[in-house]
């Protein structure tokens, strides 16, 4: 399976965008009401928890932190939450987020790779990342999120 790679340019500082990805307020805004729970230490577990299949405490995705350089780079393994796939523990991918200052804006590069063959979430993830990154851009530039009609 091919890696998923997305590049976006946002009219905001790397520090402001970083806060959107790591703060409870930011993650709730861009990840559909979920918060990121982790210590951000290399090897530490993380999980995005919010409203979903199992109520308000649904684990949507989880994994381990691989790299964490504030305002620059973050990488982690990712599994679908237990309520989404029975074999969730076997379905591991890697997500890497990089922020780079370009003039007065920031370039975001997101790569989701190391897909196991026949991963059942590949197609939906391929569609979800552009929505999430568009939400980051809109939120960073306007303070509002997008309405996807859900």
Summarised one tens digit per residue, pLDDT across range 114-136 is 999 999 999 999 999 999 999 99
Q: Please, are residues 29 and 20 in contact by the beta-carbon 8 Å criterion?
A: yes
Overall fold of domain 4-142:
Alpha-D-Glucose-1,6-Bisphosphate; Chain A, domain 4 (3.30.530)
Judged against a pLDDT cut of 70, whether residue 150 lies above it is answered with no
Q: Each residue of 82-98: pLDDT tens digit?
A: 999 999 999 999 999 99
Q: Each residue of 67-84: pLDDT tens digit?
A: 999 999 999 999 999 999
Please tell me the predicted confidence (pLDDT) of residue 53. 87
Domain boundaries, the chain: 4-142
Please tell me the predicted confidence (pLDDT) of residue 32. 86
Q: Each residue of 14-54: pLDDT tens digit?
A: 999 999 999 999 999 999 899 999 999 999 999 999 999 89
Average pLDDT, the chain: 96
Give the DSSP per-residue string, 68-86: EETTTEEEEEEEE-TTT-T
How many whole angstroms separate alpha carbon 35 and alpha carbon 27?
5
Give percent above pLDDT 90 in the chain.
Answer: 94
Q: Which helix (H) or strand (E) holds 50?
A: strand 45-52
Helix then strand then coil, in percent of the chain rounded to 5, is 25, 40, 35
Please tell me the predicted confidence (pLDDT) of residue 148. 86
In this structure, what DSSP letter does residue 143 have?
S
């Amino acid at each position: 399976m091919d890696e998923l790679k997305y590049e976006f340019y946002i009219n905001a500082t790397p520090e402001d965008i970083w806060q959107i990805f790591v703060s409870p307020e930011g993650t709730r805004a861009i990840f559909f009401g979920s918060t990121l729970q982790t210590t951000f230490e290399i090897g530490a577990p993380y999980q995005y928890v919010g409203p979903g299949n199992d109520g308000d405490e649904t684990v949507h995705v989880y994994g381990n932190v691989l790299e964490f350089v504030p305002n620059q780079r973050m990488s982690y393994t990712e599994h679908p939450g237990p309520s989404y796939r029975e074999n969730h523990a076997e379905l591991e991918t890697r997500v890497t987020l990089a922020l780079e200052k370009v003039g007065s804006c920031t370039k975001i590069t997101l790569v989701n790779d190391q897909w196991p063959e026949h991963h059942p979430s590949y197609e939906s993830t391929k569609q979800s990342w552009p929505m999430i990154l568009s939400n980051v851009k809109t939120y960073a530039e306007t303070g509002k999120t997008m309405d996807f009609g859900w």
